[in-house]
A = this chain, B = another copy of it.
Amino acid sequence: MATDQVPPIADELPTVEPGAPPAHIEDDAVHADDAGYRQPQVDAEALRRLLDGPHREARDLVRANLVEHAQILLDQEQLTTAEFRERVKDVVLTMARTGQTGMGFPEEYGGGGDIGASVAAFETLALGDLSVLVKVGVQFGLFGGAILQLGTRHHHDAHLADIVSGRTLGCFAMTETGHGSNVQALGTVATYDVEAQEFVITTPDDASRKDYIGNAAAHARLAVVFAQLEVAGERHGVHALVVPLRDEDGRVLDGVRIEDCGPKMGLGGVDNGRIWFDGVRVPRTALLNQFAEVTPEGRYLSPIDNPNKRFFTMLGTLVQGRVCVGGAAINAAKVALAIAVRYGARRRQFEATSPGEEQVLLDYGMHQRRLLPLLARTYALHFAQEVVAEQLHDVFSGAGGDEHARRVLESRAAGTKALGTWHATRTIQECREACGGAGYLSENRFAALKADTDVFTTFEGDNHVLLQLVAKGLLTDYSGEFEDMDQLGMARFVAGLAVETVVERTAVHKLVQSVRDLLPGGDTWDQEAGLLDPNYQLAMLRFREEHMIAGVARRLKRGIDRGMDPGAVFSRVQDHVMAAARAHTERLVLEAFVQKTADLPDGDLKVALNLLCDLHALSVIEADRAWFMEHGRLSSARSKAITREVGALCRKVRPLVVDLVDAFGVPPEVLRSPDLLGGPTGSGDRAGG
């Protein structure tokens, strides 16, 4: 059983005091909210400490660096691409000198030896310019991380100190034009020449050119190149090698061809490029040999026999990048909300309540509906990200580094990255629209936020592919077969099991009895469990998850049993597969939020976070209430009651919103938006005159 995956809450559900009276079924009319309700006050500073969590120092160091380099947000608009790339590089190197970017590396190479702090620092960096963020991610996360994780002492001694300090800049040359998500099909070849004891790196065709490689077009001197390893005529799958690209003066070396990817939607400060290799020779020791080795005489050795398993083990080191991107996306969403919520709390438009004075936008029900569930979800994802970052720290610090824990982490990171990055795209868009035409001006940050984060949903693993990874883990319980399986294999594997076996393997299964107790079905239970009871909310998400996983297993099995082509079966079940993976991740997110609030001491902060947690939980159920009705777990009366309760919760959260976004701790210097946050806001706003 995947016990690591289930937080303590699963066994002992917390007793939560929601801080609000139990849900009641309002009648269809509008009436005043519960008279006895006492509105909590939020201490924004205390809440910020809670959000900052255990790595507050790392976050504050980054905030100070962001303020010092706030000018880069203007440079991004004003400099040419070539100039801005140099500026971004300089800022990255200056930040590196403060220790900010090396926190995840061993202390002996000048790093901080604290992976948790390094994730916190990276996330916080996302409050500022995102070209800086991505440049840091490429240099220290992908390039440095690959040398650290895939290399051995030899490579560490040769490179890490220079990477941490920024003396050596490098890139991570994995993706190829024709091979994006399907890394196993890469075309670049590294052939071992036993005479010379060298590898020869070759790009066989344009589909196999390295593409979108950050740092490649201008700055990288070295590359970690992923290529098909060929020894004595035999292919051993994808491996990584350290390959020089440029000399000390920045000239591209013989045999290497580099082309600029050209203008992009955003991230103008990152020099993405394409790379071709024409018989480039590197020494035998250039192979990053943590998981495989080629002896001088040309013998291939690996402690992992199965090539698929070896491949997925190597790729598993990418998990840190995914955790970081997910966290960064959530923080980018915070910037958008900090601007749009503050603007919505002061901008007036139309006389709605009393003649002569225009109404504040956030006092409109629709405006609350647009922004406040997104605010609640940002909190939920923040706490879910905190859990996954802790798991990453434990696994990569050796405290919980067994294989099963790694796979659980990979799945959780994949799901959180997918949900976090989609949330950022959606939130930034809604916040932009909620600021009207002003939101379109670059000085108000949305332009860069939108353009720069847009690629988050498809880089470091395309979100749809990542959700398939999550589903694979659910269906196989992260078993030994997990790594040795493509989509076809998964369909066949699942088809070979009884559906019950699949369901029993899922982490959620042991919770099912309590779910059934809470959700007995039919209409009579409607009044029994309060909508604001977290046990009810979690039971709903757990039921959905288990039911969807069982449904996927049944459909795969039935299709294959009927003799359909496994690929065609998979294709038809694919949206169901995605839905199951989402449902699983949504459950993890809600559990993290419920747990966090349950652990708080009684007081206004707890009351306020419970409001947000309820708003998030009911918004999630509301968004999929059709599914719950279809599966007999929601009556139409209760479904409508949930919608009304979401509205009521929005009204209760409304007075807290400015404190809730203040607690994100976005330095005012990086918010910019002078007119939105301090300028003329409406004819009713005399301060604007």
Contacts and interface: CB of A to CB of B under 8 A. Distances in A.
Contact of A442 (B265, B632, B639, B681): B265
A458 interface: yes
B364 A571 contact: yes
A234 to B, nearest CB: 18
A572 B651 CA distance: 9
B551 A177 contact: no
Interface string A411-450: 0000000000000010001001100111111110011001
Contact of A683 (B31, B207, B355): B207
A601 interface: no
A294 interface: no
A353 B180 contact: no
A459 interface: yes
A573 interface: yes
Interface string A630-659: 111000100110000001000000000000
A679 B261 CA distance: 14
B455 A349 contact: no
A632 B636 contact: yes
A207 to B, nearest CB: 3
Interface residues of A, number: 110
Contacts of A351: 486, 488
Interface string A448-465: 001100110111001110
A292 interface: no
Contacts of A567: 352-354, 359
A249 interface: no
A28 interface: yes
A156 interface: no
A433 B458 contact: yes
A178 B683 contact: yes
Question: Which of A77, A206, A454, A681: most chain B CB closer than 10 A?
Answer: A454
B685 A178 contact: yes
Nearest to A350: B182
Interface stretch (A1-9, A120-128, A552-560): A552-560
Contact of A636 (B366, B441, B630): B630
Interface in A657-689: 675, 679-683, 685, 688-689
Given A451-B451, A454-B440, A352 B571 contact: yes
A345 interface: no
Nearest to A560: B30
A205 interface: yes
A131 to B, nearest CB: 13
B636 A443 contact: no
Interface in A531-563: 551, 554-555, 558-559, 562
Contact of A630 (B486, B568, B639): B639
Contacts of A175: 437
A167 interface: no
Interface string A161-186: 00000000000000101111110010
B436 A462 contact: yes
Contact of A562 (B29, B77, B178): B29
A523 interface: no
B369 A575 contact: yes
A365 B575 contact: yes
Contact of A206 (B178, B562, B629, B680): B680
A684 to B, nearest CB: 8
A440 B464 contact: no
Contacts of A205: 680, 688-689
A71 to B, nearest CB: 15
Nearest to A78: B263
Contacts of A573: 30, 365
30 contacts: A28-B558, A29-B554, A30-B562, A30-B568, A179-B682, A179-B683, A180-B436, A181-B349, A182-B350, A185-B350, A185-B358, A206-B679, A207-B682, A211-B437, A212-B440, A262-B443, A263-B442, A350-B487, A353-B565, A364-B571, A365-B574, A369-B574, A429-B429, A433-B463, A436-B458, A437-B458, A439-B458, A629-B629, A631-B636, A632-B636
Given A187-B683, A265-B441, 11 more contacts: A78-B263, A179-B349, A181-B350, A182-B358, A204-B689, A264-B441, A265-B451, A365-B571, A440-B458, A572-B647, A626-B629
Interface of A: 28-32, 77-78, 175, 177-182, 185, 187, 204-209, 211-212, 261-266, 349-355, 358-359, 363-366, 369, 425, 429, 432-433, 436-443, 446-447, 450-451, 454-455, 457-459, 462-464, 486-488, 551, 554-555, 558-559, 562, 564-575, 577-578, 625-626, 629-632, 636, 639-640, 647, 675, 679-683, 685, 688-689
